[in-house]
Structure 1
Amino acid sequence: MGETIPIAIPRKGRPLESVLDRLANRLGIGDLADDISSTLRHEKALTKGSLSSDHDVYHRLATYSTVENPTEPEYTLFRDDRAGKPRRIVFDSVTIPLEGVESVPDGTSIQLVGREEPFRALRTHEFALGFDSADLVLEEVVELRPEPLQRIADVNARIDPTDTDVRVVTGLGDTVYHTLMATPDATPPSESVDREFLEKYAGPLCIVPRYERLVQAVLGTDILDGIDFVYPDSTVEEEAAIADTGAGVYLTVTGSTAREHGLLLGEQLFPSETVLMENTAETDATVDAVRSLLADGETETELAIGR
């Protein structure tokens, strides 16, 4: 009987789909990945009210999770943050045998285990490997310095080894950007909305509260002299709050909502992306082999400046 390596992964959303895409490409589990993704998209639509079902959430959960072996996916319930706090079905676990994979010992399997915050599960030594947003690493454990962060390698260099044994291995490329944006009134004529703009800017900068430390880490503390963070009211759309403030930082994919609020899209300050992580205190030869399998052939993702 071989070893089963548990891997913490997100329970839902874009990060989970990115993990499933990576595993489908590495391990040839496209059908399993598609099954999990389609189930969760369907359940999300039911939670949002854009679809309806004749069966309640408990009946659907029982149907999904009546499985004959651990190689079939199981699901669990999560209290969603939408109005009314509805119950939502999210991913729980599945075991994937790595049969015929030469780079790992015979009989090795991985068990994907859903967690609300996989990074914190690695920090508490529950897992040796996991996937989570790079944002959470920057929000919690990187050291703040005057100079900005530029690459994933810089993130690891700024983690105090006495604080955590978790390190970032590689990014998955599912990148959206924390983007600097401002109103035309806040932007001097002929100037770009970029870091140089921030160096001259003095006043409020609107950000989501949880990203305060992240923004400080990636921009560097020097550039923030004369800048005061303000936060959007929970009842106001983030882009609307930035438009009222004059300048801010928020996640963008297309930037269409920001433009609808009259904002100029500026520099893509840093990427928000799912990353593979390891707890270096919990690794052994089999974990190392699995990590290499999941990360093999990937180019290190940069926290890019000036894109």
Structure 2
Amino acid sequence: MAETTAVAVPRKGRPLEAVLERVAARADATELADSIISTLRYEKAITKGRAEDPRNVYERLADYSDLGHPHRPEFTLLRDDRDGLPRRVVFDSVTVETETGPIQLVGREEPFRSLRTHSFAFGFDSADLVLEEVVALRPEPLDSIADVNARIDPHDTDVRVVTGLGDTVHHTLMATPELLDSYRADGATRKFVAEYEGELCISPRYERLVEAVLGTDVMQDVEFCYPGDGQEEEAGIAETGVGVYLTMTGGTARDHGLELGTQLFPSETVLMENVEESTDGDAAVTALFGDVETELAVQ
């Protein structure tokens, strides 16, 4: 019997759904993936007050999890950050049979850091976290996932990016037409930022990411600022005049009178490998999740 390979995945959210959708497509596990996704979406609706359930959270957890069946999903409870710190149902684990061997998806709050501490050989997380934690800042901009590994110091971590899953939204540069006109800029571009002096509005957690994708050279006369408490990012950018935020359609940005500009970097769920922990027997992971057209060379 082939040995089971453990893969760290997020406990909830878009990155976990991207992993499950890839499993559904390549491991004949559509029903399993759909059941996990629908359960977590339902629990999110309860958390947000958009749905009600007569069962308490412990009763729901018992109904969702079947500990006696190795190939049924398990869920667990975590404290939520809402008032009173209530418990929330999140993904815990499931084992999936593949043509090259069984894979166990294991939920972790911070999969990337689980790989950094050598707890797993493989894992999935947002590419954003790699930029925020280990990618070196350089004068030239970073604009593709394919270039991430070259920016990772091998003395800092053994983790490398293998491939992306294509669930892409973009960190996009945006600005008000008035500010662009004052600089006689031909749109919100990297060239505009290089000439710009002043505040640039971003989410606080993205300081290092934005500096990496813009490059340190253009940041010399730029100072980060942030939306006010409870304020939408697009609203804060509109007040500042220029900023960077995630966009899918850009509709909210346009509603605030912003002009969408250069897509600076893709925010995408990525498969990562700790090259010191993986073995030749872990081919099941790359066979299931790898993509010939987008797979990256591990350096």
Paired residue type of 1:194: T
* Per-residue deviation, 1:7: 0.3
The residue that corresponds to 1:5 in the other structure is 5
C-alpha deviation, 1:186, in angstroms: 1.3
**1:267 aligns to what?**
262
Describe the SS at the equivalent of 2:54: coil
| CA distance, structure 2, for counterparts of residue 171 and residue 242 of structure 1 | 29
Per-residue deviation, residues 240-277 of structure 1 (Å, max 9, x unmatched): 11111111101111212212222111111111000011
Say if 1:154 and 1:10 are closer, same or farther in 2 by CA, change over 3 A.
Answer: same
Deviation at 1:5? 0.7
Q: Deviations over 1:96-115 (max 9, x none)?
A: 123xx2xx3xxx31110001
> 2:50 — aligned with what?
50
* Match of residue 213, structure 1, among 197, 208, 211: 208
2-structure distance, mates of 1:87, 1:254: 33
Spell out, residue by residue over 1:61-93, the C-alpha distance to the aligned partner (whole angstroms, 9 max, x if none): 111124322211010112233455432211100
What do residues 164-195 of structure 1 show as CA deviations (whole Å, max 9, x unaligned)? 00000000000001111111221125621111
Count of residues in correspondence between the two structures: 294
| Conserved? CA contact 2:21–2:33, under 8 Å | yes
Tell me the SS of whatever aligns to 1:21.
Answer: helix
**Contact 2:201-2:236 at 8 Å conserved across structures:** yes
> 155-164 or 183-192, which moves further after superposition?
183-192
Task: Return the alpha-carbon distance in structure 2 between the equivalents of residues 133 and 203 of structure 1.
Answer: 29
Question: Alignment partner for residue 164 of structure 2, among 156, 168, 171?
Answer: 171
- Mark the CA change 1:231 to 1:64 in structure 2 (over 3 Å): closer, same or farther: same
Distance 1:183 1:82 in 2: 34
Contact 1:152-1:300 within 8 A present in 2 as well = no
Distance, in Å, in 1 between the alignment partners of 2:38 and 2:273 is 28
Residues 71, 221 of structure 1: alpha-carbon distance in 2 compared, 3 angstrom cutoff: same
The equivalent residue for 2:280 is 285
Partner amino acid for 2:256? Answer: H
| Identity rate, percent | 65
Q: Secondary structure at the match of 1:187?
A: helix
Letter in 1 for 2:97: P
Distance 1:298 1:68 in 2: 39
Q: CA deviation at 1:300?
A: 4.4
Q: 2:201, 2:227 within 8 Å by CA — same for their partners in 1? A: yes
Give the TM-score of the pair, scaled to structure 2: 0.94
- In 1, distance between residues paired with 2:81 and 2:179? 34
Output the CA distance in 2 between the equivalents of 1:236 and 1:202.
Answer: 24
Look up the match of 1:70: 70
Q: Give unmatched runs, 5+ long, in structure 1.
A: 302-307
* Structure 2 unaligned residues grouped into runs of 5+: none
Q: Give 1:30's aligned residue.
A: 30
Match of 1:97 in 2: 97
Q: CA RMSD in A?
A: 1.6
The residue identity in structure 2 corresponding to 1:272 is S
TM-score (norm 1): 0.91
Please name the residue that 1:305 is paired with: none
